[in-house]
């Protein structure tokens, strides 16, 4: 059955500004052929910038979402790419932070999880939904 999928990503982490974010995905028909593609990115600075503070005007609590239409299944990818590493080098002070990811299928939540994000490496999250029944 063809559906509309929405992939939503958010975090209230105060230092989210240190990461460029990308959400992308493809929608597929019953045969596995791609029928839709969407992507969105939120870039704050080039990788390696090592800023001492957030640039002026940056929304520190960002939300990104994509919509994939007329699809039976999706493959979605969420990337958090650090451009500025933590200022504190103490591991205890750089604990993972939360990133919320939700996928809606025709407005019904089919995936909802909080991913722990390593402050040093960022994240690469792959979602293939709906999961095939075994």
State pLDDT tens for residues 84-121: 999 888 888 899 999 999 999 999 999 999 999 999 99
Nearest CA to 97 among 121, 126, 133, 131? 121
The Cα angle at residue 24 between residues 23 and 28, in degrees rounded to 5: 145
**pLDDT of amino acid 134:** 41
Better-predicted residue by pLDDT, 54 or 5: 5
**pLDDT of amino acid 62:** 87
Q: What percent of the chain has pLDDT over 70?
A: 97
Cα of 41 vs its chain's centroid, Å: 9
C-alpha to C-alpha distance for 73 and 104, rounded to whole angstroms? 12
Q: What letter would DSSP give residue 23? A: E
**pLDDT of amino acid 133:** 58
- The answer to whether 96 and 116 have CB atoms below 8 angstroms apart is yes
Residue 67 has pLDDT above 50, yes or no: yes
């Amino acid at each position: 059955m063809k559906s509309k999928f929405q992939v939503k990503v958010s975090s209230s982490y105060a230092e989210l500004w240190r990461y460029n974010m990308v959400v992308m995905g493809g929608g597929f028909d019953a045969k596995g052929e791609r029928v839709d593609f969407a992507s969105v990115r939120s870039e704050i600075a080039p990788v390696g910038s090592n800023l001492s503070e957030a640039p002026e005007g940056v929304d520190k609590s960002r939300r990104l979402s994509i919509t994939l239409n007329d699809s039976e299944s999706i493959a979605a990818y969420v990337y958090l790419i650090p451009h500025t590493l933590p200022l504190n080098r103490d591991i205890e002070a750089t604990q993972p932070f939360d990133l919320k990811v939700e996928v809606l299928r025709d407005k019904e939540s089919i995936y909802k999880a909080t991913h722990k994000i390593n402050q040093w490496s960022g994240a690469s999250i792959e979602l293939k939904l709906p999961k095939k029944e075994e």
